[in-house]
């Protein structure tokens, strides 16, 4: 499909720079077969049925943005690296700026804060093991837990570019950009639909007769990359690691067989569930990489409803929701959200997409 079909105009003031307080006070646009309903996230239990299962992503965001230097003789140049996928104990794939000036085999020394003050300077460094456009494979001098500790000591929370361009990261983001369910370290972007949940909302969901299950998709920075191709067939997704445990898969299949709906909380939960489902719709245990790219025409197998935030124009995520609910329906929903002054993107409001139409 042509990528320009997924374009729309969004006023800059609709981009949220901070989350709602409390989190479940965010607005919720319920997109039904024939109408839109304006609600709040805390109203979510009222749209669930007894036996439904909400599936959340338990990925934990790491401070994946690192600042450092490369030296070439007497010259020193500043480098910004955003880790996006761990390959093994000591290797990470990263988006680097300025990537063109970095050479294969060069060493990048990390340990500089955004303000330039030394912070464990020289304790962490990496060799450039591979180079592919703006993406590098970094081979670190540390491995395993020691590398994790260094990243947490030196790294910055990787705010999405549409927020980082308008304000600096601060201490609030360390908590704001983490979900209630965060357990599995390694994500470099938050599964943002989960940001809306509070203990009170979880209790209300369970009181309504629904349950929660956890899956993992370690969201990579590739989720923010623009689609540069003119046609969706020309776009390549970056792989991300995910898992669905056997016990979780069994409970989800049993719930669906009993008439319950699988409600994915976020596009990340949806993508790992669809990656784990077989042709019949049965969810299988899964552990490994997925680069699933969902566009209109895709036949959903595992998910019956989707709660998600509002996404960027021409993005793979807007393509996904258009596949789930219909392109024209989603364009109408987003136009309604803009008119009603909903807040967009990672710290913004949410929508609940209910199937029943193409």
Residue 40: per-residue pLDDT: 98
- Cβ neighbours around 32 below 10 Å, total: 16
Residue 162: inside a domain, yes or no? no
Is omega for the bond preceding 22 within 30 degrees of 0, making it cis? Answer: yes
Q: What is the pLDDT of residues 159-207, one digit of tens each?
A: 888 898 899 889 999 999 999 999 999 999 999 999 999 999 999 999 9
Query: Structure tokens of 228?
Result: 């540069």
**Are residues 57 and 69 located together in one domain of the fold?**
no
Query: Structure tokens of 85?
Result: 């996928």
pTM, two decimal places: 0.91
What whole-number percentage of the chain has pLDDT above 90? 80
CATH number for 83 = 2.40.10.240
**Are residues 130 and 249 located together in one domain of the fold?**
no
**Are residues 217 and 341 located together in one domain of the fold?**
yes
Band (pLDDT 50/70/90 cuts) for residue 216 is very high
Q: What is the pLDDT of residues 114-142, one digit of tens each?
A: 444 444 555 899 999 999 877 899 999 99
Residue 167: inside a domain, yes or no? no
Which residue range is the domain that position 319 belongs to? Answer: 3-61+174-354
**Are residues 57 and 74 located together in one domain of the fold?**
no
Q: For residues 141-158, give the mean pLDDT.
A: 92
The SS3 of residue 249 is helix
Q: What is the pLDDT of residues 322-348, one digit of tens each?
A: 999 999 999 999 999 999 999 999 999
Spell out the alpha helix ranges (H) of 56-179: 144-154, 161-164, 173-176
Band (pLDDT 50/70/90 cuts) for residue 318 is very high
Residue 113: per-residue pLDDT: 45
Q: Considering only CA atoms, which of 254, 255, 291, 253 is closest in space to residue 271?
A: 291
Q: What is the pLDDT of residues 258-313, one digit of tens each?
A: 999 999 999 999 999 999 999 999 999 999 999 999 999 999 999 999 999 999 99
CATH number for 310 = 3.40.1780.10
**Are residues 253 and 346 located together in one domain of the fold?**
yes
Residue 114: per-residue pLDDT: 41
| Domain stop point among 156, 185, 200 | 156
**Are residues 14 and 139 located together in one domain of the fold?**
no
- Whether 167 and 230 have beta carbons less than 8 Å apart is answered as no
**Are residues 201 and 118 located together in one domain of the fold?**
no
**Are residues 345 and 197 located together in one domain of the fold?**
yes
Band (pLDDT 50/70/90 cuts) for residue 57 is very high
Q: What is the pLDDT of residues 18-41, one digit of tens each?
A: 999 999 999 999 998 888 999 999
Residue 163: inside a domain, yes or no? no
**Are residues 92 and 48 located together in one domain of the fold?**
no
Domain count, the chain: 2
């Amino acid at each position: 499909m042509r990528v320009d079909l997924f374009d729309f105009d969004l006023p800059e003031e609709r981009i949220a720079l901070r989350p709602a307080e409390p989190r479940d006070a965010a607005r919720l646009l319920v997109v039904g077969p024939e109408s839109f309903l304006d609600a709040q996230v805390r109203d979510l239990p009222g749209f669930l049925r007894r036996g439904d299962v909400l599936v959340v992503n338990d990925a934990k965001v790491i401070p994946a943005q690192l600042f450092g230097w490369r030296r070439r003789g007497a010259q020193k140049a500043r480098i910004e690296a955003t880790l996006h996928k761990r390959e093994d104990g000591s290797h990470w794939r990263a988006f680097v700026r300025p990537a063109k000036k970095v050479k294969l085999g060069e060493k990048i020394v990390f340990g500089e804060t955004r303000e330039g003050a030394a912070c464990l300077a020289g304790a962490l460094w990496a060799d450039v093991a591979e180079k592919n456009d703006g993406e590098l494979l970094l081979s670190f001098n540390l491995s395993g837990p020691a590398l994790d500790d260094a990243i947490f000591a030196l790294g910055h929370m990787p705010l999405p570019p549409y927020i980082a361009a308008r304000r600096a990261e601060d201490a609030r983001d360390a908590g704001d950009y983490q979900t209630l369910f965060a357990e599995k370290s390694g994500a470099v972007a938050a599964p943002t639909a989960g940001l809306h949940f509070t203990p009170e909302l979880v209790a209300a969901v369970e009181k309504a007769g629904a349950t929660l299950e956890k899956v993992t998709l370690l969201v990579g920075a590739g989720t923010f990359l623009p689609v540069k191709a003119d046609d969706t067939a020309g776009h390549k997704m970056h792989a991300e690691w995910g898992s669905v445990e056997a016990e979780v898969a069994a409970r989800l299949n049993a719930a669906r067989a009993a008439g319950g709906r699988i409600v994915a909380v976020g596009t990340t939960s949806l993508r790992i569930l669809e990656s784990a489902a077989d042709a019949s719709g049965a969810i299988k245990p899964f552990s490994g990489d997925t680069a699933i790219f969902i566009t209109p025409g895709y036949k959903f197998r595992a998910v019956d409803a989707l709660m998600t935030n509002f996404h960027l124009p021409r993005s793979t995520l807007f393509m996904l929701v258009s596949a789930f609910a219909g392109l024209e329906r989603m364009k109408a929903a987003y136009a309604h959200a803009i008119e009603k002054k909903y807040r967009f993107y990672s710290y913004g409001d949410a929508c609940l997409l209910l199937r029943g139409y193409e």
